[in-house]
Amino acid sequence: MSRRPPEPVQVVKQRRDAALAALAERVPYIRFLDISFDRRGDELTGVMHYDDKLIGNPHLPALHGGVTAAFLEVTAIITLSWGLLWEDVESGVLTLDALEAGELPRLPKTIDFTVDYLRSGLPRDAYARAHVTRSGRRYASVRAEAWQDNHSRPIAQAHAHFLMPRKES
């Protein structure tokens, strides 16, 4: 029996990047905060590009705590959705054409969100990663952390619960 040859790397990358773009770029609030996602395999890092309008304390100056919380929530939702989408993208159930036409699963809904502020956010780009602790049929539990210059010096951490979108049967 012969194995199917692996797909060319460019085909794989194009499909995955298109899926990620379709997921994140259609949310107006993600554009409002100018958040993009770096992808390495299935691992995502959120990048919140600095803009003066993100400031909450003009005297320090520091990022608005609400913006930092929002960045963590956005990263948690996209990471959780990406995990759900990944299998369908890889198996070809979701095609590139379908993704570009906006045929995506509904987004998880936030049930509760808790953020701890560890350091004030500097007026520069911030990064965040989320870790899905448990992704069940109805509920999911997610941790996230944000940092700037040093990953070992996080500016905030969060944990949250989400209601998962119903799978169309």
Partner 1 sequence: MHVDKTTLAREFINLIPQARALQLEITEIRDGVAVIRMPYDAGLVGDPDTGVIHGGAVSTLMDTCGGAATMAHPSNPGGTATISLRIDYLRAATPGQAIVARAECHHVTRSVAFVRATAHDDDAENPVATATGTFTVEGAA
Place of tokens 């930092």: 68
Measured N-to-C along each axis, helices 65-91 and 9-25 cross at an angle, to the nearest 10 degrees, of: 140
128 lies in the site for partner 1, by CB under 8 A? no
* Nearest-angstrom CA–CA distance, 68 and 55: 10
Q: CB–CB of 117/154 below 8 Å?
A: no
Give the chain's length: 169
Binding partner 1 by CB under 8 A: which of 114, 125, 149, 151?
A: 114
56 lies in the site for partner 1, by CB under 8 A? yes
- Smallest separation, CB 40 to partner 1 (Å): 25
Give the pair of three-digit tokens for residue 73.
């929530």
Binding partner 1 by CB under 8 A: which of 116, 125, 133, 166?
A: 116
> At 90, phi and psi to the nearest 5?
-70, -35
Q: CB–CB of 145/128 below 8 Å?
A: yes
**Which has the closest alpha carbon to 23: 93, 98, 92?**
98
Binding partner 1 by CB under 8 A: which of 19, 20, 24, 67?
A: 67
* Nearest-angstrom CA–CA distance, 95 and 105: 13
Site string for partner 1, 68-107 (x = CB under 8 A): -xxx-xx--x----------------------------xx
31 lies in the site for partner 1, by CB under 8 A? yes
- Smallest separation, CB 100 to partner 1 (Å): 15
Binding partner 1 by CB under 8 A: which of 88, 96, 113, 141?
A: 113
112 lies in the site for partner 1, by CB under 8 A? yes
Residues that bind partner 1 (CB under 8 A): 26-29, 31-33, 52-58, 64-67, 69-71, 73-74, 77, 106-107, 109-117, 120
